[in-house]
Structure 1
Amino acid sequence: MANEENFVSLEVANRYMLLPVQENSPEAKIGIIKDNLQVGVYSNVRLARERVDYYVPFELSEYKGEYVTIDIQGVPENAICWRYFKVSDLFDTTNTEKFRPSYHHTPAYGWMNDPNGMFYKDGVYHLYFQYNPYGSMWGNMHWGHSTSTDLVNWKNEGVAIAPDAVGTIFSGSCVVDHNNTSGFGEGAVVAFYTSAKQTPWGDCQTQSMAYSLDNGKTFIKYANNPILTSSEKDFRDPKVFWYAPKEHWVMMLAVGQHMEIYSSKNLKDWTKESEFGEGHGCHGGVWECPDLVELPIEGTKDKKWVLICNINPGGPFGGSATQYFVGDFDGSTFTNNYPEETKWMDYGKDHYATVTWNNAPDGRCIAIGWMSNWQYANNVPTLQYRSANTIARDLSLFKQDGNLFLKSEPCKEMVEARKDGRQIKTVNVAKTETVSLSPQSDNGAYEVELSINPEKSKEVSFTLSNGKGEKVLMIYDVVKKTFSMDRTMSGNVSFSKDFPATTIMPVGKSKNLKLRLFVDKSSIEAFTENGKYVMTNCVFPSAPYDTVTFESDGNRYKVNNINIYQIK
């Protein structure tokens, strides 16, 4: 019965109640009652009815030594979860997933989507993210938190911001308030996020803020939340930054299929300045996760502004993707210099919600994305966790044919992360040539760097494969100047009809193709011309790809300077 309610009273002696989850069960609700009062908000958990897929921890340490009542709603009496609830002081986060990446950020357990609130301070990169600690499917949105000193190795810092009466915690951003414009303290970290709530009148999305006085470890929610409201259904994902020429803060908000721009002197009181979006770019779905950054133009002393706009659906190969606009910004209004074009930041299926770090060092603009697609993100073949982030990327602009395009270069830390490299100077391909990637590929996490000289070939094809017959086919079309990746036979593709796919992107005019492939246990990121064109795709092979096979169209070609690295 969907309306069944059960109460479990106990004296709390352990840190956790471990909840048994079955992913295809309907959602139940679980919460805490103390002294006849509801404590906090109730969480949605897919409690096991016929089988246990995994456990998630339900925190009780705050009430140790006290009597509380666990209120569980929506679970029938014959569900097996009643036999499998446990209490414990430990929750084992030892990796149990063969597809968990080695050098891409993932949550220790549970669901993750959009990266949020990233900032750099005192030598540490902070990454927050949309997080469900009560299951590996979307729901119960919190901000999870991880830290790194090198953008490659990440430390789990637990939950940073949890749902409250104003709503669950959707995407947003953080700033370092160096000059104490907010009054929270010099150098305070101020977070902005969307509070999302279901009401009898429909979904409600408002903007809230919190501040941290311990470098982002804990946050204090602003007493007067929400700070911005709207009658719009989709009103979310605040991105805040300082605009020095006018000495004010700017907030970008995604509202349906356009962006709204606000300004503030104190981070608390906001004035709407303008809108952007109508008649620009792709409108196949809802606009989300905006960003606005000023970037240098390669080979010049000039800069231009780039408005990053994530869209779902509407991507070039279905589902979610990231588009961008290059133009001018005066602190109030963004003007797109190329209104006739739709420009994509990444041409793969699995690159979304891309945003940048605040306060990044050395004038860098560093971005990271969510490495999945809303078409199948809830169904990929992992259970302990779901979703990873892309590698971090340094952003800049480059000129081509009188136009400006976004360059996403693998962050310099990826070079520093290389170890045990091996070089093959030249492979001459007449028909078929095979190169072993072992031992660098043995754990499924490595980088391959190469340069293709097609000579008279019109098409150069090569395949990453393993001994199980699973493979990813890549083709450089020399005539059309395109690069494609076919993952239809890459491994497990059965979990979604939208997953088997071939993606294609343009490449530069140079005849030789320079390529860096970042392969991890469940993803491939391809960078041509060191980031001028990028493609990110997830894969789920049953064994690591340990061989690359080059094939000819009947004409000879050369593959030069093949470098294979483990990533430490």
Structure 2
Amino acid sequence: MTSPSHHLSRRNLLAASAAVVVSFAAASCTPPRGSESPTPAPVSRGPRSSASDPWRPAVHLTAEKNWLNDPNGLVYHDGTYHAFYQYNPRGNSWGNMSWGHSTSKDLVQWEQQPVAMEASVDEEIFSGCIVVDTNNASGLGSAQNPPLVALYTSAYGKNGALPQGAQAQSAAYSTDGGTTWQKHRGNPVLNLEPTNNNFRDPKVTWYEPGRYWVMTTVVADAQVVKLFKSTDLLHWDFLSDFSGVGAQGGLWEVPELLQMSVEGSTARKWVMLLSINPGGIAGGSGMQYFVGEFDGTRFMAEDAAAPDAPLQESQWLDYGADYYAANSVSGAPGGKPVLLGWMGNWDYAQHVPTTPWRGAMAIPRELTLVRGEKRFELRSGVAAAAREVLERGEEKGKDLTVSSGSEDLGTDFAARTQLIDLELDLGTAREAGILLRHSPDAQDGLRISYEKDSGTLKVDRSNAGTSNFSEKFSPYHQVTVRPADGKVRLRILLDTSSVEVFAQDGQAVVTDTFFPDWDHIGASVFSMEGETAFAVRSRSL
């Protein structure tokens, strides 16, 4: 996870690859630190958007109040999805980093739980992960009641176990399904020598051929992913470093190593997900990925962009400004990785004009790995459990042809929140698209367009509402998308103050936040310099 200040001193790569010091502590523990401030009681679904709270999402996870950012500790356990996340229980800006906690049965309707682990003067609780220790290898539970084990980054303050400012990996566990957590007495369980101030973001996956857990972490300011292994989640041995490829323009954060099947074949590949801030494709925060092989020790990327290559040559999980720190839900059903990401950008996240809350998660997504024209590529779609909920509503449709002009879609499509499936056949038109959350005169609104000759999909939020809170709130974002049979198909999830555009069955995604006027709910389609045939389908949410 990132703090608001990105002006961190660059570490020497030799120091970044220093020897590992592992804390060989017994599997005993201490009771959780007493809360130093009140934590909110569980709320079902939480508050709804209103004229006084106009930008609160309807189908995305957010807190009832206060700041949240990176998701961590994502796990599916006993039929419930658990989302833990970076949370400030005391205010609406970054600070006092604790683990907030929400639960869901369907990835859409979330119930906020009490804070799971709260910051103290000597330790803030930065990002991490949770796994179900089914065989009680850690010894922190029992054979009859296997524990949930969390690995997280301890960011040390005054009187901490390490010098102030140091970061190392620690463990905690729960034997009551994630409701309460106890910290491991031997923390930290993984440290670097010398101690490092940017060593963070553990994520764990099981490596079956070796029968051990693999942890990915980063030395963020050196752009190095460090891999470790363990058989008990408490004692970790160094495996290797991954570095030297892809975008390098900022901190590397929240790495994850996934094994995935290649769609339509029996082949399997390994995928490394990696956030970067700044230096993303849309400016500020972003998420890149690499596809390759993992032999149990080293991850080797294939056909990866060189560090000095244009950003367009790297592979990006999302081309909008507001998708960061996504990682998968451990144990999620369905056979495909299910990701939850933060819908924010460090360029301006602390200044967005929402209150009493600030920060939301993107809709959970599932990933598919396919063979592209030049290399393996990821496709993204709404996760199956969430998709089932979003598609329950009555579908309303309209087919129309527009020639060099625009047409209002009418009251069936006038909404603050809706799931839209849009098909464009540009015909003779140069450009066509849809305007959402627009003013009565259609002068202001969120503009989603496709330009035929360049193949450019653009999401333009420059006239979509309040934007004067930050000079870095970029006006538009775009990506090249290939048409299929001369048509462009978009799935658009519009939710009050955000839009997620899935193009051509997830070939590319653009996620952006925006802050429209409460009474701007219009929807229109437009065609420029020629004729376009539109097929529009919508479900209210």
Instruction: Report the counterpart of residue 360 of structure 2 in structure 1.
Output: 388
Q: Offset at 1:439? A: 4.5
Matched to 1:416, the amino acid is: V
CA distance in 2, matches of 1:221, 1:202: 19
Instruction: Report the counterpart of residue 338 of structure 2 in structure 1.
Output: 366
Secondary structure in 2 aligned to 1:553?
strand
Matched to 2:487, the amino acid is: N
Instruction: Report the counterpart of residue 205 of structure 2 in structure 1.
Output: 241
5 Å matches for 1:71-470? 97-164=53-120, 167-185=123-141, 186=143, 187-198=146-157, 203-230=165-192, 231-256=195-220, 257-278=223-244, 280-340=245-305, 341-412=313-384, 413-436=386-409, 438-439=411-412, 441-442=414-415, 444-464=416-436, 465-467=438-440, 469-470=443-444
CA contact (8 A) 2:449 2:457 kept: yes
Q: Does 1:533 align with 2:508?
A: yes
Q: TM-score, normalised by structure 2?
A: 0.85
Larger radius of gyration: 1
Residues 439 and 427 of structure 1, relative CA distance in 2, 3 Å threshold: closer
Offset from partner CA, 1:484-517 (integer Å, 9 cap, x none):
1111111000100111411001212423101011
CA distance in 1, matches of 2:113, 2:527: 49
CA contact (8 A) 1:171 1:193 kept: yes
CA distance in 2, matches of 1:449, 1:42: 46
Matched to 2:291, the amino acid is: V
Secondary structure in 1 aligned to 2:515?
coil
Matched to 2:135, the amino acid is: N
Residues 355 and 460 of structure 1, relative CA distance in 2, 3 Å threshold: same
CA distance in 1, matches of 2:174, 2:414: 42
Residues 204 and 42 of structure 1, relative CA distance in 2, 3 Å threshold: farther
Residue of 464, 475, 478 corresponding to 1:501? 475
Secondary structure in 1 aligned to 2:252?
strand
Q: Offset at 1:173? A: 0.3
Q: Offset at 1:336? A: 0.2
Q: Offset at 1:285? A: 0.5
CA distance in 2, matches of 1:347, 1:94: 30
Structure 1 unmatched ranges of 5 or more = 1-38, 44-57, 62-89
Instruction: Report the counterpart of residue 458 of structure 2 in structure 1.
Output: 484
Matched to 1:355, the amino acid is: N
CA contact (8 A) 1:527 1:535 kept: yes
Q: Offset at 1:369? A: 0.5
CA contact (8 A) 1:466 1:543 kept: no
Q: Offset at 1:296? A: 2.1
Matched to 2:184, the amino acid is: Y
Secondary structure in 1 aligned to 2:341?
strand
Q: Offset at 1:545? A: 4.8
CA distance in 2, matches of 1:140, 1:222: 21
Instruction: Report the counterpart of residue 64 of structure 1 in structure 2.
Output: none
Offset from partner CA, 1:519-563 (integer Å, 9 cap, x none):
011101100112120000001001265333333232212112x11
Matched to 2:286, the amino acid is: A
CA contact (8 A) 2:396 2:412 kept: no
CA contact (8 A) 1:166 1:226 kept: no
CA contact (8 A) 2:108 2:389 kept: no
Q: Offset at 1:362? A: 2.9
Matched to 1:301, the amino acid is: T
CA contact (8 A) 2:262 2:371 kept: yes
Q: Offset at 1:42? A: 10
Matched to 1:192, the amino acid is: L
Q: State percent identity of aligned pairs.
A: 35
Matched to 2:118, the amino acid is: A
CA distance in 1, matches of 2:47, 2:383: 28
Q: Offset at 1:363? A: 1.8
CA distance in 2, matches of 1:369, 1:345: 11
CA contact (8 A) 1:420 1:440 kept: no
CA distance in 2, matches of 1:514, 1:174: 37
CA distance in 2, matches of 1:287, 1:479: 35
Greater relative CO, 1 or 2 (CA 8 Å, sep 6+): 2
Aligned residues: 483
Higher strand share: 1
Bigger mean CA deviation after superposition, 420-429 or 498-507: 420-429
CA distance in 1, matches of 2:403, 2:368: 38
Bigger mean CA deviation after superposition, 157-166 or 260-269: 157-166
Matched to 2:336, the amino acid is: R
Residues 421 and 546 of structure 1, relative CA distance in 2, 3 Å threshold: farther
Offset from partner CA, 1:426-455 (integer Å, 9 cap, x none):
21011223233635644x111111111112
Measured on the aligned residues, the alpha-carbon RMSD in Å equals 2.3
CA contact (8 A) 1:311 1:322 kept: yes
Secondary structure in 2 aligned to 1:241?
strand
Matched to 2:149, the amino acid is: V
Matched to 2:230, the amino acid is: S
CA distance in 2, matches of 1:229, 1:453: 56
CA contact (8 A) 2:404 2:429 kept: no
Residues 438 and 302 of structure 1, relative CA distance in 2, 3 Å threshold: farther
Residue of 502, 509, 527 corresponding to 1:552? 527
CA distance in 1, matches of 2:412, 2:374: 45
CA distance in 1, matches of 2:39, 2:258: 42
Matched to 1:466, the amino acid is: S
CA distance in 2, matches of 1:482, 1:545: 27
CA distance in 1, matches of 2:258, 2:519: 38
CA distance in 2, matches of 1:480, 1:307: 30
Instruction: Report the counterpart of residue 46 of structure 1 in structure 2.
Output: none
Bigger mean CA deviation after superposition, 96-105 or 452-461: 452-461
